Amino acid sequence: MKNLKNFQFLFPQLFINLLFSMSCFASIYPQYAYKPPVSKLELTSGFNFTSIKQIENSNSGTPFLGIRLQMPLNKEFFLETGAELAYFEYSSFTAFPKIRNTYLRFKIVPQFKINNFMKFGAGLQRSFLFSSNTITLHDKNWNGSSYYNPKPDFGSTLDYFIGFDIDLYNRVGMGVNLTASLTDPAFTIRNFQFSVHYTLNGESEKKPSQKDIANQQIKDLKNGVLLVRLKTSTSKIKALQKAGYTDEAARVEQEQLKDSKEIMQAFADGFSFCQVRFFTSDKSLQIRNRMFKNVFVDEGLKIDSTIVVPEKETFFIADFDYVSNDTAAYFSNYKTEQTPDGPARVPEYYGGTEIDFSALVISDSNFIQLQKPFPFYTRTAFKSYKENPVQLIFLFPVALISDTWSYADVVKKMDKKLLKFYSKSK
């Protein structure tokens, strides 16, 4: 019994050390991908906040340590079993003494999966009284405390158990539970428990680096298809027509058609890395949703139902657009903006440079720009100078050495970049 009393005094230090160790593991694991096991064996620790119904002001907050096993019954239901060692301290009837009880508790709890990270459980718990002692104080400063065994008013109990489990990150989770006695001993104990869990089994694999991701993407593109988006400027043309500028609307339409045909010809002549298909920007939503029927166009920019892509085919998007901040480092959220082709969902960024530049850009199937080290863009200097001629004054030396003065130049350069990166990724 003396050794047990020594353990009770060491228990808070053990609990603090355990939490510190778990937090260290949690800080290390972000660089790993975790594969949860079918059944999870978990170390659990936390605090019990307990009160005795028959004693006023009997609240206490004391630690516990345990282990549990969580087994799936099917996709939605689980069975949790576990054991824990816990001690409680309560105020007693007379001035300044405290009651200290130690329990060994076993539980069995069916659980229901609410969503991917939360479960609700309700079950039974058997609490075996391991020891019961009273601290008698000699003065208000707790000096000269002594122990003696009280009357056998406390005993083992059968408790009901309800609670929630929440997965926080990889191996780490937390729980909040309520228990109360079903049996009717001299004292009815009610308990609120806060716990932290650490999964002991399961595999941990190193998280792929950005280079690994880029290497896989270039292989996927090589074996997949590149869908080139051609702008239509439909909204701009309709706005000009509505305002009565029919000549300007016709000019914009013809210019857009000319650009689209030049882009198609540039890919036909200078791109060999992978298969290529073309679609107009008003079909972007269908492409995003993999609705590939009657969306691709032929050389005359007419819908051609014979041009098909399998629904499960891996594809990427190519677009003559603007490159701004690093999409991985500074991506914040999406917002809806008015574009020449109508409302569009575009990404917002934080931090970094605000400089945008025109380029041929490769994005994933969700229209999100890829990132380095993947060669996801090639600058279109000729478009920048055409749209902003004053840039030639300030960037004249750069313009002299530029090798992208047409769509054909840009597409050929992109093709070379992809082939070079692919050869290095093997």
pLDDT band at 206 (very low <50, low <70, confident <90, very high): low
Longest dimension (CA), the chain: 102
pLDDT band at 22 (very low <50, low <70, confident <90, very high): very low
Question: Which of residues 152, 177, 206 is at a domain's end?
Answer: 206
If asked whether residues 403 and 349 sit together in one domain, one would say yes
The C-alpha atoms of residue 223 and residue 219 are separated, in whole angstroms, by: 6
Question: Which of residues 180, 206, 232 is at a domain's end?
Answer: 206
Mean pLDDT of the chain: 77
Secondary structure element (H or E) that encloses residue 306, with its range: none
> How many domains does the chain fold into?
2
pTM, entire model: 0.51
pLDDT, tens digit, for every residue of 221-260? 999 999 999 998 888 888 888 888 888 888 988 988 999 9
If asked whether residues 262 and 380 sit together in one domain, one would say yes
- DSSP result, 58-88: --EEEEEEEEEEEEESSSSEEEEEEEEEEEE
- DSSP result, 119-168: EEEEEEEEEEEEEEEEEE-SSTT-TT-EEE---TT---EEEEEEEEEEEE
If asked whether residues 185 and 326 sit together in one domain, one would say no
If asked whether residues 117 and 143 sit together in one domain, one would say yes
pLDDT, tens digit, for every residue of 388-425? 555 555 555 555 556 667 899 999 999 999 999 999 98
If asked whether residues 112 and 259 sit together in one domain, one would say no
pLDDT surpassing 50 at residue 328:
no
If asked whether residues 198 and 227 sit together in one domain, one would say no
pLDDT at 129: 84
If asked whether residues 227 and 202 sit together in one domain, one would say no
pLDDT band at 209 (very low <50, low <70, confident <90, very high): confident
Q: Is 286 exposed, middle or buried (0-12, 13-18, 19+ CB in 10 A)?
A: middle
The C-alpha atoms of residue 280 and residue 297 are separated, in whole angstroms, by: 8
pLDDT at 102: 85
pLDDT band at 26 (very low <50, low <70, confident <90, very high): very low
pLDDT at 53: 67
Higher pLDDT, 104 or 324: 104
Q: How many CA atoms lie within 13 A of 29 on its CB side?
A: 19
Question: Which of residues 206, 231, 265 is at a domain's end?
Answer: 206
pLDDT, tens digit, for every residue of 333-347? 445 555 545 555 555
If asked whether residues 153 and 278 sit together in one domain, one would say no
With b for 16 or more beta-carbon neighbours within 10 A and e for fewer, the 130-159 pattern comes to: eebbbbebeeeeeeeeeeeeeeeebeebeb
Domain extent at residue 243: 210-425
